[in-house]
């Protein structure tokens, strides 16, 4: 069996909430060793977001998967010393403190890279490390507002609309993972790491298409169109006779023609305005009436089967119950069942793609804060007495598990990785 694609890569996740931790999760999904660093008295707020069962957060079980957990106060000299030793043995550090915070603690890149010139430091903030907004709180909601996303989302006569989930953070997590791997690829050629400066507002802005170029050249902005598109029609959600909803897309001309033929309105295809997506969008009312009226007279199964036979583009609008029952997702292995210490077997979405070589299983779900503090510190060369002293001083936290420490072979897995690019 081949090793996981990122086997041998060590990532320190010193970030909180979603963009940084999710980027670390993506890297861990492909086999990287991820060590999650949290404050002993203020763990990652993500542990309290979303639904719970029996007092255990469900979201964290996914977001924290494949991560060892270490509780460490970075703000004091002793904690900073531990973190420098940890970073000296790592490939990547991901953090999302406000700019200048690491520097104030003596943990800026110059300090961290002094003993590990190959270190990649990914800094994930709302607005980046420079500029007048650099120290503003950087939540994804602000990025969704300032990127242009909210202004272009919603009904034409309604307000700008925010997504009901962390869209900007999720997109930024993918961009962060991509940036980290880019920096690591460059390190392979130069032997040097670098700083990645990622502003959460920019990746979601990039997903909105040529809005900046459009404004520069035409002086116009994309209007709010609800579920419709200004680029093609019919494109909307439609209700079936049995109360379900489906979505139809006609991004290509041939698909648009198949849809109108299917619903019994071939005469519309002959109209001059039907020849392009943009001109079809100007007749969205007429096209929606034709397609929506046809769909409203049929059940969801009938609609899906008819579109499939016509090779037209349609999709059911799914709930989570639909997702877990769908045979396509089953074939892809989208839903994974992972053993959890609190819930037993639990379902969650797996990694984002499949590799013909180098795939990795989900090794475990999100752990309690500080579950691996003792074992990680032992790997770094701290003696049991030193660990106990750090605990007593409040520098580190987590459950004391002497049996785990005693069973370890010695400080080799992390300690031996230091200065690999020196």
Q: Is 169 annotated in the active site?
A: yes
* Catalytic residue, candidates 29, 91, 169, 359: 169
Is the Cβ–Cβ distance between 239 and 300 less than 8 Å? no
3-state helix, strand, coil in the chain (%, to 5): 40, 15, 45
**CA atoms of 53 and 339, how far apart (whole Å):** 16
**CA atoms of 281 and 277, how far apart (whole Å):** 6
* Residue 136 token pair: 């503003």
Nearest-5° Cα angle at 391, 387 to 396: 90
CA atoms within 13 A on the CB side of 59: 14
The conformational region for residue 311 under phi > 0 = left, psi -120 to 50 = alpha, else beta, is: left
Q: Is 280 helix (H, G, I), strand (E, B) or coil?
A: helix
Q: Which residue has the tokens 């607005």?
A: 127
**CA atoms of 119 and 180, how far apart (whole Å):** 10
User: CA-based diameter of the chain, in Å?
Assistant: 84
**CA atoms of 67 and 28, how far apart (whole Å):** 7
Q: Which residue has the tokens 């008819």?
A: 306
Catalytic positions, please? 169
């Amino acid at each position: 069996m081949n090793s996981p694609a990122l086997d041998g890569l060590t990532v320190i996740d010193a970030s909180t909430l979603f963009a940084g931790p999710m980027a670390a999760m993506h890297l861990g999904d492909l086999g990287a060793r991820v060590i999650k660093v949290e404050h002993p008295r203020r763990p990652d707020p993500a542990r309290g977001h979303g639904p719970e069962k029996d007092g255990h957060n469900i979201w964290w079980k996914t977001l924290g998967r494949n991560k060892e957990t270490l509780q460490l106060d970075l703000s004091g000299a002793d904690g900073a010393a531990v973190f420098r030793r940890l970073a000296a043995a790592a490939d990547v550090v991901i953090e999302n403190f406000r700019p200048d915070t690491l520097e104030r603690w003596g943990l800026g890149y110059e300090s961290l890279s002094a003993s590990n010139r190959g270190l990649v430091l990914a800094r994930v903030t709302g607005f980046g490390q420079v500029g007048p907004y650099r120290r503003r709180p950087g939540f994804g909601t602000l990025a969704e507002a300032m990127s242009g996303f909210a202004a272009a989302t919603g009904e034409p006569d309604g307000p700008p609309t925010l997504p009901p989930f962390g869209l900007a953070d999720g997109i930024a997590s993918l961009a962060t993972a991509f940036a980290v791997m880019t920096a690591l690829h460059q390190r392979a050629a130069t032997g040097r790491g670098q700083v990645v400066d990622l502003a959460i507002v920019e990746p979601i802005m990039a997903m909105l298409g040529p809005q900046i170029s459009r404004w520069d050249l035409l002086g116009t902005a994309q209007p709010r169109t609800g579920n419709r598109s200004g680029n093609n029609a019919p494109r909307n959600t439609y209700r079936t006779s049995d109360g379900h909803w489906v979505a139809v897309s006609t991004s290509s001309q041939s698909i648009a023609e198949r849809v109108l033929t299917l619903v019994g309105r071939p005469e519309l295809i002959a109209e001059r305005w039907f020849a392009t997506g943009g001109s079809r969008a100007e007749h969205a009312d007429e096209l929606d009436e034709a397609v929506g009226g046809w769909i409203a007279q049929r059940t969801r199964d009938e609609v899906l089967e008819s579109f499939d036979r016509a090779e037209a583009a349609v999709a059911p609008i799914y709930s989570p119950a639909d997702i877990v029952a769908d045979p396509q997702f089953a074939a892809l292995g989208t839903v994974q069942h992972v053993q959890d210490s609190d819930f037993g077997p639990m379902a969650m979405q797996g990694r984002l793609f499949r590799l013909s070589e180098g795939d990795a299983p989900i090794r475990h779900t999100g752990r309690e804060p500080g579950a691996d503090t003792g074992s990680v510190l032992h790997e770094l060369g701290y003696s049991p007495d030193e660990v106990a002293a750090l605990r007593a001083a409040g520098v580190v936290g987590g459950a004391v598990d002497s049996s785990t420490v005693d069973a370890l072979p010695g400080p080799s897995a992390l300690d031996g990785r230091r200065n690999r690019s020196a």
